[in-house]
Structure 1
């Protein structure tokens, strides 16, 4: 199984010098500037992508930090979650996320799925297990299974795999701003600082227009 990005960081954030100012954020330090920018979904907006895995404990811990930030993003910022696809259970959970998003119910069950894996000891390792669990949260079982196995969802799974490769990710959680800048909790200096880096890069992109 792929390692999580600098998981030990969360236990030792003080080592990263968190007193630096946003003006000090630099490529090669807090973030990486991709050598080959990746096309965004909506060219008229500044895109912020979070790559994650439902089974990642650091992604789960990041949720209560990033969610309030997402809710306050201005209209010119387009936030997207993309599941990381590193094979095996990562791909199964990623396909579940895409199916839920396709059904339009992801927002209502997103936290429940995280909690099931990290607090309730569930694995959700097969489509039937997923469907049974989701049925308890108001998602029609037959509709979920049909969508999960649909051509459209499988096509989006392949697209997610290609994006993960284009962003050159090696773990999660990772943020990418406007297909140009990649950073994570370790490089940024913690969860809150990660969002400060995101704000800095959003403004950088806005100013360049």
Structure 2
């Protein structure tokens, strides 16, 4: 019994320590980096939160159960944007996949399915044909997907995404950027929950400044 009480006390102390840590005010250079050159947001007048990710990234996949419900509850003055990071090879192919789905207006319907196909089912989704076959089973028109995948519009959006990633000065994923000014990741924040707490504090900071 004594061991159980001691264990419970230790757990409580640990939980309290985590809560106290999460409640501490964030600092530039510690939990986040302030960019030397702010990047313009996609919707002026709204506070923008960007998540840079890669479908093949296990950490991005593990972050999904945290960021999705958080993003769904964001207030009207916050605009959440996903941008695929493209460092060459299959990163670019998966980035083209995401932008194609977004252009078709079906990304929100199949985003989770794509992640699970790669990380749970072992699919590579490394060619347009493999993607099209998989997406057809998810209700996405195969011919429309292939046509959009190879369109000038999608390739133009890819170049824009690459330039934004360079402007944000990212070296890995997942990364969050608030209002084109503040960059941080799960590691610098202290964990997935803490990363969203950092985002919340930076959103509040930007809201107060406006």
Q: For the residues of structure 2 that align with 1:42 and 1:70, how far apart are their CA atoms?
A: 16
Inter-partner Cα distance in structure 2 for 1:127 and 1:82: 19
1:161 corresponds to: 162
- 1:70: Cα distance to partner? 0.5
Report the TM-score when normalising by structure 1.
0.91
Instruction: Give yes or no for the alignment of 1:53 onto 2:54.
Output: yes
- Give the Cα separation in 1 of the matches to 2:52 and 2:177: 8
| Distance of 1:78 and 1:114 partners within structure 2 | 22
Partner of 1:6: none
Counterpart CA distance in 2 for 1:68 and 1:97 is 20
**Match of residue 151 from structure 2:** 150
- Post-superposition offset of 1:105: 0.4
Runs of 4+ in structure 1 deviating by more than 6 angstroms, as ranges, are none
Q: CA RMSD, aligned part only?
A: 1.1
Distance in 1 (alpha carbons) for counterparts of 2:206 and 2:25: 17
Q: Does 1:27 align with 2:28?
A: yes
Aligned partner of 1:121 in structure 2 is 122
After superposition, residues 62-141 of structure 1 pair within 5 angstroms as 62-141=63-142
Structure number with higher relative contact order (C-alpha < 8 Å, ≥ 6 residues apart): 1
CA contact (8 A) 2:186 2:195 kept: yes
- Output the CA distance in 2 between the equivalents of 1:109 and 1:42: 24
Matched length: 194
**C-alpha contact (below 8 Å) 1:92/1:125 kept by paired residues:** yes
1:20 alignment partner, SS class:
helix
Structure 1 gaps, min length 5: 1-13
Question: Higher helix proportion, which one?
Answer: 2
2-structure distance, mates of 1:90, 1:72: 29
Contact conserved, 1:22 with 1:200, CA < 8 A, in 2? no
TM-score (norm 2): 0.90
3-state secondary structure, aligned to 1:24:
coil
1:36 matched residue in structure 2: 37
Unaligned runs of 5+ in 2: 1-13
CA distance in 1, matches of 2:22, 2:60: 25
Structure with higher Rg: it is 2
Give 1:43 deviation, angstroms. 1.1
